[in-house]
């Protein structure tokens, strides 16, 4: 188990939400714990790599939320969650997995899992889900509901937002194509290289590449050649969990 990762800044007067990361891949586990620590109002109490370790931490450490992988060396995460529910443990669960089977999603919902996050993901995705969980936690912990509106408001906090609209002139299929090209280029791509590979103008390619930089999915750096001005090279940002198993 890793040590305390510091954690996000709690809202004044409120305790930080204590999060335990349960993930078999050590690199991904540490990345997820660091991500948690960057979200205001959250603190990572540690990261463990098996269900047995998770159970030991829960016995001795107050934990509000699990970031729970599904395939662990000693069992399946949902069976662990079911056991926690049967024992009356109040910890909430966000599943973090590569499993796309909707039957698994339905079982997760039946066990009260509050969010289901697919790997690979970048920091903004986890941040958004954690902040939504914080809204839900605040609304659901405010005592008795005055009416249906209060109930609806608490449940609505967990619903994923609609995907953000792309800037004018950009299309989702073309963006997906540029993303695929960038992922497949470990040394990065210039706007000219992306334009040639995608069959578009250099100006258009640069717009897509800059959008990826703006949304945190790519970084840019100058590439210095023999003569002339350096050319910008764009590289895909590795996503947390991308090397993890389900």
- Residue pLDDT, tens place only, 93-129: 999 988 888 888 888 888 888 888 888 777 888 888 8
Inter-residue long-range contacts of 80-89, CB under 8 Å, 24+ positions, other chains counted? 80/22, 80/51, 80/54, 80/55, 81/108, 81/111, 81/113, 82/111, 84/58, 85/111, 85/112, 89/58
Mean pLDDT (the chain, rounded): 82
Sequential DSSP letters for 54-102: HHHHHHHS--SEEEE-SEETTEEHHHHHHHHHHTT---EEEEEES---H
Tokens representing 130 are 């954690």
Check whether 20 has a pLDDT greater than 90: yes
pLDDT tens digit string along 37-80? 999 999 999 999 999 999 999 999 999 999 999 999 999 999 99
Question: pLDDT > 70: what percent of the chain?
Answer: 78
């Amino acid at each position: 188990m890793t040590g305390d990762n510091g954690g996000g800044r709690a809202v004044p007067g409120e305790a930080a939400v204590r999060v335990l990361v349960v993930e078999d891949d050590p690199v991904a586990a540490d990345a997820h714990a660091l991500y948690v620590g960057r979200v205001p109002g959250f603190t990572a109490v540690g990261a463990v790599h098996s269900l047995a370790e998770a159970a030991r931490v829960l016995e001795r450490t107050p934990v509000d939320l699990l970031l729970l992988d599904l395939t662990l060396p000693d069992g399946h995460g949902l069976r662990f969650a079911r056991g926690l529910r049967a024992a009356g443990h109040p910890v909430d669960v966000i599943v973090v997995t590569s499993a796309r089977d909707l039957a698994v999603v339905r079982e997760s919902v039946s066990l009260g899992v509050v969010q289901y996050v697919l790997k690979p993901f970048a920091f903004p995705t986890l941040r958004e889900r954690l902040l939504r969980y914080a809204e839900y936690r605040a609304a659901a912990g405010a005592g008795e509901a005055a009416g249906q509106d209060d109930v609806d408001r608490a449940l609505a906090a967990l619903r994923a937002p609609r995907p953000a609209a792309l800037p004018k002139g950009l299309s989702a299929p073309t963006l997906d194509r540029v993303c695929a090209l960038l992922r497949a280029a470990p040394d990065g791509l210039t706007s000219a290289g992306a334009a040639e590979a995608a069959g578009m103008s250099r100006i258009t390619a640069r717009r897509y590449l800059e959008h990826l930089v703006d949304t945190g999915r790519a970084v840019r750096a100058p590439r210095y050649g023999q003569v002339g001005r350096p050319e910008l090279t764009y590289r895909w940002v590795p996503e947390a969990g991308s090397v993890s198993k389900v």
